[in-house]
Amino acid sequence: MQPTLVILAAGMASRYGSLKQIQSFGPSGETIMEYSIYDAIRAGFGKVVFIIREEFVNDFKEVFGSKLDGKVAVDYVFQSLDAFLPDVTVPDGRTKPWGTAHAVLCAKNAVQEPFAVINADDFYGRDAFAKAYDFLTTACSPDKYAIIGYELLKTLSEHGTVNRGVCRVDAAGNLESIAERLNIAMKDGKIVCDDNQEPEELPLDSSVSMNFWCFHPSVFSISQEMFNDFVKKHYQEPKAEFFIPIVADDFIKSGKGVIPVIQTSSSWFGVTYKEDAPSVQASLDALVAAGEYPNNLWQ
| Alpha-carbon 228 to chain mean position | 23
Share of the chain above pLDDT 90, in %: 71
pTM > 0.85: yes or no: yes
pLDDT band at 15 (very low <50, low <70, confident <90, very high): very low
Whether the Cβ atoms of residue 126 and residue 15 lie closer than 8 Å to each other? no
pLDDT, tens digit, for every residue of 101-160?
Answer: 999 999 999 999 999 999 998 999 999 999 999 999 999 999 999 999 999 998 988 878
Q: Phi and psi (nearest 5°) for 245? A: -60, -25
199 cis-preceded (ω within 30 degrees of 0): yes
pLDDT of residue 13: 42
Q: Which of 2-11, 145-154, 266-275 has the lowest mean pLDDT?
A: 266-275
Q: For the chain, list the domains and their CATH numbers.
A: 4-142+209-245+269-289 (3.90.550.10)
Q: Tell me the average pLDDT across 54-59.
A: 86
pLDDT, tens digit, for every residue of 219-267?
Answer: 999 999 999 999 999 999 999 999 999 999 999 999 999 999 999 999 8
pLDDT of residue 11: 60
